Chains A and B, each alone.
Chain A
């Protein structure tokens, strides 16, 4: 290295000039790109947040038939308290109310591990029927055409019209946990009929619902009388 410097000082000079130029070009482009991304991010942020909130509300309406207003709650360890926006998603519960103000049920998010990462779903629990009455996939990266049948296949979605989650005699656990059944082999009201060609994805959904209902349904069933429509609307 030192040889080159002593032998050809001029060349070294030229190289520094050149690397400065490279540096300027890269930094310049980097700054410009950063600016573009920041502008797009800031510009689309409120729209995306609004879209996502609207999508969640629409999803709640979908999983709880007859719902016109919703209210968010979370479990603070002892009781259900209205949301203040800082709770983790896994701790949230959305209560739905009909036009006359009666409780239509609860919408709960649940997460299962699918074929290509997490599958986030929202399901509706109706304490009056003691059953899951609706189901919707919030987010999934399942293989298009195969795994994503959990979002579309009518036979699979039919599982969640009245999936039994009755609370057992003690009141602390479910009579029967939701279980997976091979396609066409569903025997009981608490079993989920899987999809051929999407076994892992439909098992992921079953697992998500099974875990979430086992934890939440007994609590919600016990506290169902305490949910009243709030005067101000929640998003």
Chain B
């Protein structure tokens, strides 16, 4: 990360510095779900309500940020042959910490996320960022990359969660939208609904990308 002291110049420089690009790449151009199609397990499993999707996205983003920072700062110390084992160890540690932290923040929240917190360990998005980015870049860059990817992942999860909750439960974040006569599409909150919703979002994303490329 470049160091800038004066504010306006800082933002101006950020616009086209590689750092800003690092952040925006995860958010849009290389969105972990819509473009890279990574970490599909939580994307399909916990997006049946908007609240679960948001909590899962934030928890993943936190683990991603912490593991990227640690992997990046230890990148000269970890030998190549044991890097995957080391990354998994680091990721698992932060997942455990997140698990305890969520339990300490609210028993209710921990109850609603259930087993899915522990499953962040096997989210390949986190491992792929550690391997493809954090192990080769500075701490600052890795932090920005993690933030971008984390926000992008949360955004994607919310996209799915909102659609599935509206159609499958007739509500958003638990607030009812429709009168009682609304017939819920049970299939949308079942795993199959996750695949349908993801397919439609991917379709939209690809159409959008193609249009951008041609214009």
Binding site for B on A (CB under 8 A): 18, 21-22, 25-26, 28-30, 33, 36-37, 40-41, 44, 47-48, 51-52, 55, 116, 139-141, 144-146, 148, 197
CB-defined contacts of B48 to chain A, threshold 8 Å: 144-145
Chain B residues with CB under 8 A of A52: 107
Known interface pairs A33-B93, A44-B104, A48-B100. Does A144 touch B86 (Cβ–Cβ under 8 Å)? Answer: no
Q: A37-B93, A139-B111 are in contact. Are A145 and B168 (CB under 8 A)?
A: yes
Whether, in the assembled complex, B137 has its beta carbon less than 8 Å from a beta carbon of chain A, the answer is: no
**Chain A residue, CB-CB nearest to B106:** A51
B85 at the binding interface (Cβ < 8 Å): yes
How far is the CB of A146 from the nearest CB of chain B, in Å? 6
Residue of B nearest to A39 (CB): B97
Q: How far is the CA of A52 from the CA of B100 in the complex (A)?
A: 13
Q: What is the distance, in angstroms, from B56's C-beta to the closest C-beta of chain A?
A: 11
The answer to whether A144 and B92 have CB atoms under 8 Å apart is no
B64 on interface, CB distance cutoff 8 Å: no
| Distance between Cα atoms of A37 and B82 in the complex (Å) | 21
Q: From DSSP, what is the main secondary structure of chain A's interface residues?
A: helix
B96 touches A22 (CB 8 A): no
CB B78 to nearest CB in A, in angstroms, measures: 5
Report whether A25 and B90 are in contact in the complex, using a CB–CB cutoff of 8 Å. no
- Contact A30 B100, beta carbon cutoff 8 Å: no
21 example contacts (A-B, Cβ-Cβ < 8 A) are as follows: A22-B81, A25-B78, A25-B79, A25-B82, A25-B86, A29-B89, A33-B89, A36-B93, A37-B93, A37-B96, A40-B101, A41-B100, A51-B106, A51-B107, A141-B114, A141-B115, A144-B52, A144-B112, A144-B189, A146-B186, A148-B112
A183 to chain B, nearest CB (A): 14
Residues B171-187 near A (CB distance < 8 A): 186
Complex CA distance for A25 and B85, rounded to whole angstroms: 10
Query: When the two chains form their complex, are residues A33 and B92 in contact, meaning their CB atoms are under 8 A apart?
Result: yes
Q: Which of B46, B78, B104 contacts A29 (CB 8 A)?
A: B78
Residues A29 and B96 in contact in the complex (CB < 8 Å), given A18-B79, A52-B107: no
A83 to B112, CA, bound (A): 30
A40–B90 CB distance below 8 A: no
Q: How far is the CB of B99 from chain A (nearest CB, A)?
A: 9
B97–A146 CB distance below 8 A:
no
List of 4 A-B pairs having minimum Cβ-Cβ separation, nearest first? A145-B189, A33-B93, A44-B104, A145-B48
User: By the criterion CB–CB under 8 Å, are A25 and B104 in contact?
Assistant: no
Smallest Cβ-Cβ distance to B92: which chain A residue: A33
Chain B residues in 8 Å Cβ range of A37: 93, 96-97
Residue from B100, B112, B186 in contact with A44 in the complex, judged by beta carbons closer than 8 Å: B100
Q: Tell me which of A33, A36, A44, A146 contacts B103 (CB under 8 A).
A: A44
Within residues 138 to 182 of chain B, which ones have a CB less than 8 A from any CB in chain A? 168-169
